[in-house]
Amino acid sequence: AAAAASSPVPAALSETALLDAVFARLLAAAKEEHAAVARERLRDSRTKRNRRETYLVAQTRSKWRTRSQRFLQRRRDLLSTLPPAARYGAIFLQHLLEVDASDALLPEHSRRFEDSFTESVSDQFLLDATRGRYEVEGEVFHFAESAADEPESAFLERLLMALRRLVPAALLPCVSMSMSQSGLAALERASLCAAAVSGGRQDVSYALCEDPEQPGGLLVTMQVHRHGFREYVVDSMAVLVDDDDDDDGPRLCDSATSSVRKAATLCYAAAGVVDVVAFEEVVEIRHRGKLVPMESLCKPILPEASLHRLATTDAKDEEEGMSEGLLGRPLRCVLRCLRRRCPRRGRDGKAAPSTWGPGPPGEGVEDTVEL
């Protein structure tokens, strides 16, 4: 999942172990959200409730696990060539996309999402179209590089015409959704990287073409590449090893040599089945020329690997009056950020030097974000 000497990923994991890991993480997230709602720390909705029940109800969870198992059987030869982290990501992402695609077939009261469409095209795709780079059967659509006198409406019309020429009507909703921020959100959730970067550039691209190995099939590739950033934040409770266990605040890194790239290729069959046939996650964050260990940046595949750290922190939070959950971790992060930002007083009453602040003169942060 990343280019580094060390990794939080076991050298080998069986299909059963990977499936268990994916659905254990999904179940844990559903339980955490349920607890936050019960404590009135999170506003609930019908769609959120339906999403939680997908995993909290054992029978429903088992049904979706079986469907993921069928995906593994369909693509066993291909997936067996991938490293464990990529196989985990592929299983996770395929499940999220399949759940999303099935939502449109449900009655209104059972739907898990609030997605909307205009003439079968995802409204999120329509919003994103002028902010990303699209390639449809080799033809590039990038509004930032289009003719200066071309209005957004004309650019969008050209892109939609190319999309409709290639994509069958039945596949248009799910394909257009995967080529938008909705697809990228699923990619992010399926990845192991727990580092959130700040500043720099974010380049997003999508490619769509016919599947040469499957008549009527389509291949969709999506990629997000973050680079040029000079600081990042990691949830210390999500990773296996934390270099600074008492600090969830921003951490500095080398902007010229640090980057995070995530990409996946999806295969849509004419019958509507979606498979993930490629998954890649490359995390290279350096500080003072040294590569930050993967154990400090990525979540472990096996959830039990971090249970001891969570239990230890829960006890510490109880002492500090902060309970765990959707509120506890962010609150702890805010307090630690404040400790870093606020000047400390020395014994002489004078402010001690700050441990966080802007870099050397001339080393600014480029906040340009290309979506």
Is residue 334's pLDDT more than 50? Answer: no
Is residue 338's pLDDT more than 60? Answer: no
Q: What is the mean pLDDT of the chain?
A: 82
The C-alpha angle 93, 97, 102, rounded to 5 degrees, equals 150
Model pLDDT, residue 304: 62
Model pLDDT, residue 327: 46
Model pLDDT, residue 5: 36
Helix ranges, 133-258 (H): 152-166, 172-178, 181-190
Instruction: Give per-residue burial for 115-133: e unless 16+ CB within 10 Å, then b.
Output: bebeebbbebbbebbbebb
- Using DSSP bridges, classify how beta strands 286-287 and 290-291 pair: parallel, antiparallel or unpaired: antiparallel
Q: What average pLDDT does range 227-249 have in this prediction?
A: 75
What sign has the CA pseudo-torsion 230, 236, 242, 245? positive
Copy the structure tokens of residue 309.
């750290």
Using an 8 Å Cβ cutoff, are 324 and 314 in contact?
Answer: yes
The letter for the amino acid at 62 is S
Q: Give the helix, strand, coil percentages of the chain, each rounded to 5.
A: 45, 20, 40
Kindly list the distances between the CA atom of residue 136 and the CA atoms of 152, 161, 202, in Å, as whole numbers in the listed order.
18, 10, 21
Is residue 366's pLDDT more than 60? Answer: no
Q: Residue 296: CB partners within 8 Å, gap ≥ 6?
A: 234, 239, 241, 242, 243
Model pLDDT, residue 357: 33
CA distance linking residue 355 with residue 106, whole number of Å: 53
Using an 8 Å Cβ cutoff, are 172 and 163 in contact?
Answer: yes
Instruction: Express as a percent the part of the chain with pLDDT over 90.
Output: 67
Is residue 228's pLDDT more than 50? Answer: yes
Model pLDDT, residue 271: 87
What sign has the CA pseudo-torsion 129, 130, 135, 137? positive
- Predicted TM-score (pTM) of the model is 0.80
Q: What average pLDDT does range 181-209 have in this prediction?
A: 95
Model pLDDT, residue 344: 39
CA distance linking residue 160 with residue 339, whole number of Å: 50
Q: Which of 6, 16, 72, 67 is nearest to 300 (CA)?
A: 6
Using an 8 Å Cβ cutoff, are 183 and 222 in contact?
Answer: yes
